[in-house]
């Protein structure tokens, strides 16, 4: 009962905030609506039983991706009055996209009316659940059976990091002086100073 109520609450909020993402005039507002949609999707994931995915949605999507979207929105210098002024010019493109979406709708309804997918029945010989909780099962699979895919994910993250640095890093224009601690420590007093004992009244020869 409570689950059903919670499901409909989260689902309605997801759809409503997704609509608001599109409808909001201000792009910053649409990013904030997107964050709300992520939170509600996390609630749906909890209801399904995928706890870890729910937490990932909150941690990664809400925390990081939404921040990134905000950055993009802030960095793009978009004049929205000018964007709306291009309505006539972009009209053919809009019609084309609308046609593509219409074709997808037709295909989707056709597929729906073609009947159910034959998913088969579970034979009961699948691997038993290894751990007790969702996250434990997931870890056992990810670090046991799918080792190679996991390492590939690491490589992809590495490529993403290097790519982001290559694309956006600009070397500093003014070179600041840097401290070389090893050089400082290697310098001895006898290299730097000379003891002189000049005679009285003659001055120092350098």
Partner 1 sequence: MDYLAQYLPILIFLFIAAGLSAAFVFLPMGVSRLTGAHNPDTEKLSEYECGFPAFEEPRSQFDVRFYLVAILFIIFDLEAAFLFPWAVSLDLTGWPGWITMMIFLGELIVGFAYAWKVGALEWE
What CA–CA distance (Å, rounded) separates 78 from 55? 34
User: Among residues 88, 119, 165, 195, which is the contact residue for partner 1, using CB under 8 A?
Assistant: 165
State whether the Cα torsion 124-125-131-134 is positive or negative.
negative
- Residue from 23, 109, 154, 187 in contact with partner 1 (CB under 8 A): 154
Task: Give CA angle at 135 (151, 8), nearest 5°.
Answer: 120
Under rule CB under 8 A, how many of the chain's residues touch partner 1? 54
Nearest 5 degrees, angle CA 146-CA 148-CA 151?
110
Instruction: Answer yes or no whether residue 139 interacts with partner 1 by CB under 8 A.
Output: yes
Please report which helix (H) or strand (E) contains residue 167, including its range: helix 147-168
Judged by CB under 8 A, the residue of 72, 83, 101, 107 near partner 1 is 72
Nearest to 29 by CA among 57, 70, 60: 70
Given the rule CB under 8 A, which of 51-59, 84-92, 113-121, 198-206 is the region that contacts partner 1?
A: 51-59
**Radius of gyration of the CA atoms of the chain, in A:** 31
d(CA 10, CA 16): 10
- The least CB distance from residue 178 to partner 1, in Å, is 10
Site for partner 1 in 29-48 (CB under 8 A): 46-47
Residues 5-24 that bind partner 1 (CB under 8 A): 6
Interacting residue ranges for partner 1, rule: CB under 8 A: 2-3, 6, 28, 46-47, 49, 51-52, 55-56, 59-60, 63-65, 67-68, 71-72, 74-75, 77, 130-131, 133, 135-140, 142-144, 147, 150-151, 153-155, 157-158, 160-162, 164-165, 168-172, 176
């Amino acid at each position: 009962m409570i689950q059903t109520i919670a499901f409909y609450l989260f689902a309605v909020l997801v759809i409503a905030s997704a609509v608001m993402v599109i409808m909001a005039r201000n792009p910053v507002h649409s990013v904030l609506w997107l964050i709300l949609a992520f939170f509600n999707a996390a609630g749906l994931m909890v209801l399904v039983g995928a706890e870890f995915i729910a937490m990932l949605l909150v941690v990664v999507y809400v925390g990081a991706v939404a921040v990134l979207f905000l950055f993009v929105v802030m960095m793009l210098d978009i004049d929205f009055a000018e964007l709306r002024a291009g309505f006539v010019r972009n009209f053919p493109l809009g019609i084309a996209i609308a046609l593509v979406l219409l074709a997808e709708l037709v295909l989707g309804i056709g597929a729906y009316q073609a009947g159910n997918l034959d998913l088969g029945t579970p034979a009961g010989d699948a691997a038993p659940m290894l751990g007790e909780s969702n996250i434990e099962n997931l870890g056992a699979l990810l670090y046991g059976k799918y080792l190679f895919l996991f390492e590939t994910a690491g490589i992809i993250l590495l490529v993403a990091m290097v790519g982001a640095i290559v694309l956006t890093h600009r070397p500093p224009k003014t070179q600041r002086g840097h401290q070389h601690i090893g050089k400082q420590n290697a310098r001895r007093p006898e290299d730097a100073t000379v003891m002189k004992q000049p005679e009285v009244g003659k001055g120092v020869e350098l």
